[in-house]
Amino acid sequence: MFSNAMNSFYLKDAFSHATFKGLVLGIMLLKLVTIIAIQLTLKVFS
C-alpha cells in the first residue's frame, strides 16, 4: 500500500517534470523560429 502510493507519486512527479521540460523546449523552439522568421523578413525587405 505504502509503496504503491509512493510509486504513483513518483510517476506523477516524473510526468509533471517531463511536461515542464516539454513546455520549456517548446517555448525555446518558438523563440528560435520567431527570430529566424524576423531575420528572413528583414533580408527580404531590405
CA dihedral (30, 34, 37, 43) positive or negative: negative
Q: pLDDT digit string (tens) for 1-46?
A: 567 877 888 888 888 888 999 999 999 999 999 999 999 999 998 8
pTM (2 d.p.)? 0.59
- Show the cell assigned to 5: 502510493
Report the C-alpha gap between 45 and 20 in whole angstroms: 37
Could you tell me the residue ranges of all domains in the chain? 1-46
- Show the cell assigned to 17: 517534470
What distance, in Å, lies between the first and last C-alpha atoms of the chain?
67
Please give the radius of gyration of the chain, using alpha carbons only, rounded to the nearest integer.
Answer: 20
The DSSP output letter for 27 is H
